[in-house]
Amino acid sequence: MRSADVVVIGGGVNGASTAFNLASLGVKRIILVERRHLAAGASGKSGSLVRMHYTNDAEARLAFESLKVFRDFSRIVGGDCGFQPIGFVQVVAPGYEKALHANVAMQQRIGIETQPISKDDLRRLVPAMRVDDIGAACWEPGSGFADPNATTFGFAEAARRLGATIETECEALRIVIEGGRVAGVETSRGRIAAPVMVAVPGAWAGTLLGPLGLDFGLEPYRIQISVFRWPAGFQGGHPVVIDAFHKAWMRPEGAISTLIGVELGAAHTDPEKFHEGVDEDYVALCREKLATRFPVFQHSTMRGGWAGMIMMSPDGRPVIDQIPSVPGLWVMLGDSGTSFKTSPAIGRCLAEWIVKGKPETADLSRFRSTRFAEGKPWVDEHNYGRERLTISR
């Protein structure tokens, strides 16, 4: 039987980041098992927005700590994560002006480079954007987007260089509990004995958690995006935009296209067999929302799209915890479609927790797994309406 100090289950960006950070902190025998290939889940499909604007300080801080890594990826991790700091605009509907200003002030206290921006300044900054209908907006000049596959591969390759084993096409079938704590994992390639397990299985968490009696009310969702060619005459490009008014987010894709996602997606989808392409009516919805914010896109050509699986938690926030009832088990679950940009800090925090006894980079207490049983699901004071259903990639 093989053995390891830590087994990481899942080769998405959060699993790969965790393996890298564990190796950086000196853990020698790490095995990451991935049932398919690296970035086979949500990570490979991600819109990969890297923005700091959250309606709570816990996630904003994770995003802020992660931005430092995206900016300096080649030195800290190695390789190129494709980070493009083209700037980010958050717009909200009328009625949410106070909420946006409160959130910007909270982010500034963290140290995030962000500021409210007037409609006139926004029009000057992004001339193609319709701004007359919005309530308020803010601008983050240093945010942008990255390449989610390159980021995942970069973390995994760095972990491998530091001695970790990355095993693809290896499925974790059952977490083994002995004497009331983690003892190892049964995989499709045999058992691995290990006292510490980090489960980061994305939308496929159900089969691992069920047998341990763990139920956090997680639901797999199918999320789509589509891509539109820039119309003739549209040259200036645009920054990354989250339009909380129309529940859409968009960013440039390549040199001549825009990638857009709208709304939350469809729940209860079977992550084992879902349609990876984009639905026809969804393309029409995206075109409508895109043209609402950028009228020039009314006659743009659709150039593709895809769908991926995320795992929503009941309050739309991830669960990042050491499971109290299962000593030796750490989890990052219920990514809720917003955990690419925070993955560098999430992996760092999990590694600190395992190696040093507590997370140091950020406080993870609000992400605790017990909040649902305590009847204290997460609600942000200054949200932008329909909190959990508000698109927030």
**What is d(CA 94, CA 192) in angstroms, rounded to the nearest whole number?**
55
Q: Which residues make Cβ contacts (< 8 Å) with residue 314, sequence separation at least 6? A: 216, 217, 218, 372, 377, 388
Rounded to the nearest angstrom, the gap between the alpha carbon of residue 162 and the centroid of all alpha carbons in its chain is: 25
359 phi, psi to nearest 5 deg = -70, 135
Q: Select from 97, 147, 171, 263 the one that contacts ligand FAD (CB under 6 A).
A: 171
Would you count residue 10 as binding ligand FAD (CB under 6 A)? yes
Half-sphere exposure of 80 toward its Cβ, with a 13 Å CA cutoff? 2
# chain residues binding ligand FAD, by CB under 6 A: 41
Minimum gap (Å) between residue 283 Cβ and ligand FAD: 14
Which lies closer to ligand FAD via its Cβ, residue 45 or residue 289?
45
Would you count residue 155 as binding ligand FAD (CB under 6 A)? no
Would you count residue 369 as binding ligand FAD (CB under 6 A)? no
Structure tokens at 171: 């499925």
Q: CA end-to-end span of the chain, whole Å?
A: 41
Q: Which residues make Cβ contacts (< 8 Å) with residue 377, sequence separation at least 6? A: 314, 315, 371
| Piece in contact with ligand FAD (CB under 6 A), picked from 27-35, 68-76, 297-305, 372-380 | 27-35
Q: Select from 6, 7, 8, 15 the one that contacts ligand FAD (CB under 6 A).
A: 15
For residues 276-315, which are near ligand FAD according to CB under 6 A? 308, 310
Minimum gap (Å) between residue 60 Cβ and ligand FAD: 13
Which lies closer to ligand FAD via its Cβ, residue 135 or residue 265?
265
**What is d(CA 294, CA 129) in angstroms, rounded to the nearest whole number?**
5
Which lies closer to ligand FAD via its Cβ, residue 12 or residue 359?
12
Q: Which residues make Cβ contacts (< 8 Å) with residue 251, sequence separation at least 6? A: 47, 49, 86, 144, 145, 239, 240, 241, 258, 259
**Interstrand relation of 165-168 and 30-34 (parallel, antiparallel or unpaired):** parallel
Rounded to the nearest angstrom, the gap between the alpha carbon of residue 107 and the centroid of all alpha carbons in its chain is: 19
Half-sphere exposure of 353 toward its Cβ, with a 13 Å CA cutoff? 25
**Interstrand relation of 240-243 and 6-9 (parallel, antiparallel or unpaired):** unpaired
Which lies closer to ligand FAD via its Cβ, residue 188 or residue 370?
188
Minimum gap (Å) between residue 163 Cβ and ligand FAD: 20
Nearest to 355 by CA among 208, 195, 216: 195
Q: Select from 34, 57, 59, 253 the one that contacts ligand FAD (CB under 6 A).
A: 34
Minimum gap (Å) between residue 268 Cβ and ligand FAD: 16
Minimum gap (Å) between residue 211 Cβ and ligand FAD: 12
For residues 320-339, which are near ligand FAD according to CB under 6 A? 332, 335, 337-339
Q: Select from 208, 250, 290, 326 the one that contacts ligand FAD (CB under 6 A).
A: 208
For residues 48-77, which are near ligand FAD according to CB under 6 A? 48-49
The partner residues of 248 in beta bridges, in order of sequence, read 243, 262
Would you count residue 140 as binding ligand FAD (CB under 6 A)? no
Would you count residue 35 as binding ligand FAD (CB under 6 A)? yes
Sign, Cα dihedral of 305, 251, 79, 338: negative
Would you count residue 159 as binding ligand FAD (CB under 6 A)? no
Contact yes or no for 352/358 (Cβ under 8 A): yes
Structure tokens at 389: 């259903």
Would you count residue 9 as binding ligand FAD (CB under 6 A)? yes
Would you count residue 36 as binding ligand FAD (CB under 6 A)? yes
Q: Select from 21, 43, 90, 313 the one that contacts ligand FAD (CB under 6 A).
A: 43
Which lies closer to ligand FAD via its Cβ, residue 203 or residue 296?
203
Q: Select from 13, 129, 175, 349 the one that contacts ligand FAD (CB under 6 A).
A: 13
Q: Is residue 167 exposed (0-12), middle (13-18) or buried (19+ Cβ within 10 Å)? A: middle
Residue 188-207 contact track with ligand FAD, rule CB under 6 A, x = bound: ------------xxxxx---
CA angle 335, 371, 354 (to 5 degrees): 65
| Piece in contact with ligand FAD (CB under 6 A), picked from 28-36, 274-282, 355-363, 374-382 | 28-36
Give me the residues that bind ligand FAD (CB under 6 A), please. 9-15, 33-36, 40-43, 45-49, 171-172, 200-204, 208, 223, 225, 261, 308, 310, 332, 335, 337-341, 393
